[in-house]
Structure 1
Amino acid sequence: MPKSLKNIKMLNFIQYFTLSHQRRQSVQKGSSSKAAGILASAAYGGVREHDKRPRTQLANFFNTLLLTYFGRMLGLAFLVSLISVNMPSQAWSAEDATSSRPNPRHPWPALLQQADTLGLPTGFLKHIDPTFVTVHFEDLRTYAAEYHPHDHTMILNLRLSFNEAGGALADLARMTHHDVALLYHELLHAYLDYLYATDHGQALTAEDQQVLEAANNQMACHYRFVRINPIRQLKGATELRFLSDQDTWEVMNETWAVFVGWVLWTKLELFQDHLTTKSWTPALIEQWTQRLTDAVNSGELLGYYEPDDPEERQIARKRFIAPSNGLTPQDVELLLTTVLGEPPELVQASTAVFKQYQTTMEPAPSCE
């Protein structure tokens, strides 16, 4: 289009909007009857001759604009449809456990790989069906983590998720020692839950059978007829309790899980994260023994339960076990050897600490 013609069209466009503005001002200043007459005239095509051409050109301008916009959108949609048809599908389901990508709700394969790389214990984890436990992340307020055996669900604090977004488990290498210990505390709950589940449909290994038998023996008496500390700080003030099946199960679970978490935390600190390149030396075992002795004497490793009796739960949300019904040397040997795979020299030093402690406290109540 010649430049002069473009200028004429632009001038007509400006004139149109100028006349329209003047007409609106005259309508506002005039009487209502005059305004009605102008509107009626506009409705029936009663516009002046010099207004027709700019309006026609304006309509053509908007028609061209709309056609161009929709044309481009249709072309873009056609292009996208071609790409979607010819590209291989990259979608994966969050519930598909066979996917080559990690499943955020069943992170077992990725967890095992990372733990192996870091030198963390994985023997007992490899016995669990990768789809047995479902992992969720929540902004927990009361506890840092929860495990629910009835539906095999592990609920972890958001800080244990990748970027604290609640989507997937964070890299173990980026976790603090405290968080690794917390995670292994919950992993032991999952392991014991798996051993007692009747529907996993897989035969238990010899190690699993050993752990299961020891747990049953301890729940028959040692963790059932117990002394508790109503006030945790007053270790000498105890009360006898004959616990229900649910409370007995929880005491055994929590006592063992507290110890497993403590083992991981302490070992990471002593080895300064170098679990794959360091091994136990006499100096490290001596430091371990001192820390374990302090933890036992302070009551740090004592288990607890939440009473299933609603009335008792109103009095105390948690009941801590008295030292007489805490970890036994047999428990310690089982957990260090069969579950965590620690060497005999560490096991021997650890059981010696508990045997010595037992000589200074009252014995557990007899079930006979």
Structure 2
Amino acid sequence: MKIVTKCEDRLALRGVGRVGFYNGSDHTPEDIPFPSCLAAALRFIGEGYSWTTFTEKGKTWHRNDLYIELLGASGMAFGLRWKDGWYQDAADMMFVADPTEIIRRSFAHMGYGFRSVDKSGSPGDEARFVNEIRQSLKSGKPILSFGVVGPPECGLITGYDEGGGVLIGWSYFQDLPPFNSGVEHESDGTYRKRNWFPDTWSLIVIEDKVDRPEPVDRNAEILRWAVSVARNPADRRGGGTQHTGLAAYDAWAKQVTNDADFLTDDERVFRSRHEIHNSAVSIVAECRWAASELLKMIAESESKTVPDLLAAADRFRREHDLMWQAWGLVGGNGNPRAHEVFVDPEIRKELASVILKARDLDAEAIGIIEKLCC
């Protein structure tokens, strides 16, 4: 439901769906910020996509079909990235391909225009950002933001106060220290952030609807882009030496088995390196599960290619299952002492083996898709 609270210096859109890391709910995870934020914004402005309810292993789940579709349209459902070294952004999904292309394809798939708002370095930047935010919210559209609270991941701006001196919205990091330092909350749980401009990298304004491709064309473009994302071996954006697509699995496995990276007694190092590895495990688990679900959704309307689509979906689902094996090797998903197990070189060798098996399944799935569309 749209509820707008408004006065001269304040405007807040109420009813924009919350985004955030998985918290144990009955909603399937949406841990990739950009497609989740875009899905929440589009639902708010009227895109009536379904939620699919299903039961698996005794638990009833609710799947956000718009999020699944946007993971596919963006290429993220089929992508992977590894940045050489142990960087917190090693597996950043906004860099599985050209970020501008990821964004462009997502909006084109949904039939919407968009406009990026970036800093120019001029003294008027903050006033320009405030104006863009105010105008978009007055038109009833949330703003996608990179930064505001925490690192430059995607979030949602759903309101402002004090004329723009305070921003209101949803962030994946609004309740996570140290990123939530100075963050207050509205009654509905949205964050309130003062002095937000230094922590804000860029904005995306949702513009008017444009011609949307027919479903068959949208599906075909998803499949073609999936192959391109997987086959792209390297990308130089974001600094450092990066590997994308199938090549990222090899770089990840090589990094995990580099014993020289573990010649220290500093637990903080072990913990950090395990967190970076675990982020990649989580991404592959979620994204390949989503790829499997998406291909099954496409198969419902593509009768001639059902066997091949389901065969590729099966590979992606098995790849997802391998990530649970990876978690099992360190004591299970969420084990607070997993970083201690991760230090063991034999465990890391086993993890590398699982990673390479996942690569092989990914290659099989992409090979099937490639024969269908390319």
User: Could you tell me the TM-score, scaled by structure 2's length?
Assistant: 0.26
Structure having the higher strand fraction is: 2
Structure having the higher helix fraction is: 1
Report 1 or 2 for greater relative contact order, CA contacts < 8 Å, sequence distance ≥ 6.
2
